[in-house]
Amino acid sequence: MRALVQRVTEASVTVDGTCIGRCETGLLILICAMQGDTPADGEKLAAKIAKLRIFHDAAGKMNRSLLDIGGSALVVSQFTLAADTRSGNRPGFSAAARPDTGRALYEGFANALAALGPRVETGRFGADMAVALVNDGPVTIWLDTQT
């Protein structure tokens, strides 16, 4: 699975003019299931992200995790993280998991993260979504369970 994690002061996702998910201080997590991914990959990634020490401590160092600060997360599916741009100008997405598998892995990831304690809200798999965020730092980190 691939994830683009952004430390945020706020984030929201809107579908057809209606806000369907939001978070305050915490993480916006854009997630993509890749071919060959398993539920165990989602659980491993959720644990890694929940414990990722990217929030400031009292000394101003990035030394605290989402769990440490009691933050929340907004998880949004984004198959374009599978983009292959090695050839030509049009990205290919064939490395992404098939939609039925991708949906199950996306939902499994969000559930695994929520089971660890943070409040988790989600976007809508396969929908045309508008995502808004205030990136804090900015801090943006790429994670991939296949590398």
Q: Which two tokens stand for residue 61?
A: 């160092």
What is the chain's pLDDT, residue by residue, as a tens digit (147 residues)?
A: 999 999 999 999 999 999 999 999 999 999 999 999 999 999 999 999 999 999 999 999 999 999 999 999 999 999 999 999 999 999 999 999 999 999 999 999 999 999 999 999 999 999 999 999 999 999 999 999 987
Catalytic residues: 78-80
The pTM for the full model equals: 0.96
Q: What is the CATH number of the domain that holds 18?
A: 3.50.80.10
**Structural domains in the chain (count):** 1
| Domain-embedded: residue 102 | yes
CB atoms within 10 A of CB 88: 8
Residue (of 72, 74, 92) closest to 14 by Cα position = 74
Q: Which domain holds residue 30?
A: 2-131
User: Is residue 82 helix, strand or coil?
Assistant: helix
| Domain-embedded: residue 142 | no
